Amino acid sequence: MKVNDKLFKTVWLEDDVVKMINQPILPDRFEIRECKNHAETAEAIKTMIVRGAGAIGATAGYGMAQAFIQGEDIEKAAELIKNTRPTAQNLFYAVNKVLKAKDKEEAVKIAEEIAEEDSEASKKIGEYGETLIKDNDKILTHCNAGWLAFVDWGTALSPIYSAKRKGKNIFVFVDETRPRLQGARLTAWELGNEDVPHAIIADNAAGHYMKNGDVNLVITGADRIAANGDTANKIGTYEKAVLAKENNIPFYIAAPTSTIDISCPSGENIPIEERDEKEVLEVRGVKLSPEKSHAKNPAFDVTPARYITGIITEKGVIKPNKEDIKKIINP
């Protein structure tokens, strides 16, 4: 990721300190947060200092490596980290992988491999996804599945960056993504840094632009993909998929194979995180609603496979069905 002409990854490990871009304060300020132990790293995941499927996974792996390095109770550390965000499959993938390490050296090696795999997978997703983008396409995306959501490159935005580098003329509609505004704050910030033409739109404006023929393609990320192709992603993704289907617009999910949970039969089995109602009732500490009002705040929804045109992975573009998913997981 290029920030002020300097290259950064979203999260990395230095000695026994996990360093990450502090995402809640973007785009106002750019700052690196340091987590000195696995408990601080777990808290950073829970409070969304770091967020996005791949970045959460890499951070969880690094948190486990910290526990090994600092001689903590490994099982307790694993439990603490697993309890931070229930929906993101990459988190559980990383924790379980590092949990198998025999010592701190192996734990660090595995954690670094997870981060490197995430970066490489994201780059390949960009290469495969770029072939789906035509010159002059207008693409809609939801939430943030770019550099900031992964160690590097991202998923939903990776094909866009690849298309831009190939000289394709593209435009991106950026859903604001209430309640935490990851689209308006993070995706727009990324696209601006990359000089990609874009416009932020209210979440409930997407249908208007689809119906008017202004959107050629929809690409979003994913936090967990079930064995049958049902996909959990940021709240509001499901309605975008339904709108795309209604308006005959291709709807793609971009995600590495580590996001696929082969043990999860369908979307009905994916746990949906319910976050603090304050995220809906307030924006950056400013109250929007009457004092006596309460809110519901599911962080994710599930898009059934029937609404998904294809899944862009680091191994190619597949159909969202059991057969194709099994082939790509067990080639």
Catalytic machinery residues: 223
Partners of 13 in the beta sheet?
Answer: 18
Tokens for 309, please give them: 């045109």
**Residue 146 DSSP one-character state:** S
Partners of 218 in the beta sheet?
Answer: 140, 251
Complete edge-to-edge strand list for the sheet that includes strand 32-35: 11-14, 17-21, 32-35
φ and ψ at residue 73, rounded to 5 degrees: -70, 110
Using CA atoms, how far apart are residues 305 and 23, in angstroms rounded to an integer?
A: 31
Q: Where are the alpha helices (DSSP H) in the chain?
A: 38-46, 53-69, 74-82, 89-99, 104-130, 158-165, 182, 188-193, 206-211, 237-246, 278-281, 322-329
Pairing of strands 282-283, 286-287: antiparallel
Nearest to 32 by CA among 10, 54, 15: 10
Using CA atoms, how far apart are residues 244 and 85, in angstroms rounded to an integer?
A: 29
Q: Is 165 exposed, middle or buried (0-12, 13-18, 19+ CB in 10 A)?
A: exposed
Nearest to 227 by CA among 120, 60, 89: 89
Using CA atoms, how far apart are residues 242 and 41, in angstroms rounded to an integer?
A: 37
Burial 217-256 (b: 16+ CB within 10 A, else e): bbbbbbbbbbbbbbbbbbbbbbbbbebbbeeebebbbbbb
